[in-house]
Structure 1
């Protein structure tokens, strides 16, 4: 147990900074392998389900099917996992071994701003849950049904995700970038767990931009011919 010198406050949490005050903190029950394993298995099952389901439509390309898997995964992650964080301000006090509480207790080892309820992180996550979560599931529907707004929607969500990722990292740097319990958690959680929301949205933005530009050129040629 760590004691903050001169304050008389004892902190038994594993997070950095050590003087972070989390009254009523209850240590996680599930092991790191269990928390990560359950998340990985759930992701695999979801992606497999969407992949098989999307395969029933012969008109869907493999890229469209992978995008449906991505948007289903990211949408449910935003709404369920991040939604729990937004609406459970004292998850670190949980004594029931609730999986989502255990997940955030574990992730906070890579970024203690979550346990500390940092205002910047909370603002980013709230917008993500309320806007990007439902929009991501709408993207699955748009791709599946071939809606005309599919590319614009994916473009907009991806830009939002990139903006959120940039704000997430920039605010950490401005505050000292010292919120990980060790280099292991820093690279595994803070970097590794978030890299997908940088790389994949970037690729989607590029693809959608090209698709929209190509469609605009075709429309322009048609108007020219009509004249």
Structure 2
């Protein structure tokens, strides 16, 4: 009597099928995608709300545009330093991580499995992001509250790094897909379009493009972080040059 061959269940849900993951073994998430996203969103809401209360107390004269930028850089600091830093610190065991951030990374990695096998580019890019842009984002939030002139060159630096890193992140994945035939996202469209494209696009839109600030009433739109900071830095250099010229003219007269 011939035995009917049985179909072996996939070892993990990531693409391409059969890739070797970091960690001793794959551990499925205990929480569903909706629960993870809602919990993460609720945590961000509480932290950002508390940060805004502190900022308004420290500087009641903050403009609405500055409050929006303050919240943006606090959010960037949290994601870069804490969430992405978590990946950098635990990249060798990501597939078997069972804590909250580990489950979040496994859910997101359905759209980019490079996080599940310590891809060299992703690991290096996230290391730079966590070490550099995370602390500088928090520093930017403080400088905004203090209305420090140093905020503008640092804002230009952080925004340039975010824009450059995000573009490389997109392009390396798409290059592997269309040139090498390696697809790191699952076939369901929402993993690519919502997780991969939409959730990362903000680090291109806000640094490099115009963005809406609903509820903040800043003439409907605000300047992009990168261009506005470069313009403000240039004005500061022009002003410093004029002051130096006026000072030298007074000495000679």
Q: TM-score, normalised by structure 1?
A: 0.89
Indicate conservation of the 8 Å contact 1:2/1:12, yes or no.
no
SS at match of 1:114: helix
CA RMSD of aligned residues (A): 1.9
Partner residue in 1 for 2:39: 38
Q: Within the alignment, does 1:174 sit opposite 2:175 as a pair?
A: yes
Partner residue in 1 for 2:68: 66
1:19-50 residue CA offsets vs partner (Å, 9 max, x unmatched)? 21235111111100011111111121222122
Equivalent in 216, 219, 225 of residue 240 of structure 2: 219
Partner residue in 2 for 1:87: 89
Residue 133 of structure 1: how far off its partner (Å): 0.8
Indicate conservation of the 8 Å contact 1:51/1:66, yes or no.
no
Comparing 54-63 and 192-201, the one that deviates more: 54-63
Larger radius of gyration: 2
Residue 2 of structure 1: how far off its partner (Å): 7.6
**Partner Cα separation in structure 2 for residue 15 and residue 80 of structure 1:** 24
SS at match of 1:36: helix
Indicate conservation of the 8 Å contact 1:15/1:108, yes or no.
yes
Indicate conservation of the 8 Å contact 1:2/1:11, yes or no.
no
**Partner Cα separation in structure 1 for residue 246 and residue 124 of structure 2:** 50
Change in Cα spacing, 1:2 to 1:43, as seen in structure 2 (3 Å) is farther
Residue 216 of structure 1: how far off its partner (Å): 2.8
**Partner Cα separation in structure 2 for residue 2 and residue 128 of structure 1:** 42
How many residues in Structure 1 have an aligned counterpart in Structure 2? 219
1:12-27 to 2 correspondences below 5 Å: 12-22=11-21, 24-27=25-28
Comparing 169-178 and 33-42, the one that deviates more: 169-178
Residue 71 of structure 1: how far off its partner (Å): 1.0
Q: TM-score, normalised by structure 2?
A: 0.80
Q: What stretches of structure 2 of length at least 5 have no aligned partner?
A: 1-5, 209-223
Indicate conservation of the 8 Å contact 1:71/1:137, yes or no.
yes
**Partner Cα separation in structure 2 for residue 2 and residue 66 of structure 1:** 53
Residue 114 of structure 1: how far off its partner (Å): 0.7
Indicate conservation of the 8 Å contact 1:139/1:150, yes or no.
yes
Residue 224 of structure 1: how far off its partner (Å): 4.8
Indicate conservation of the 8 Å contact 2:11/2:18, yes or no.
no
1:44-72 residue CA offsets vs partner (Å, 9 max, x unmatched)? 12221222222222332111121111111
**Partner Cα separation in structure 1 for residue 240 and residue 7 of structure 2:** 66
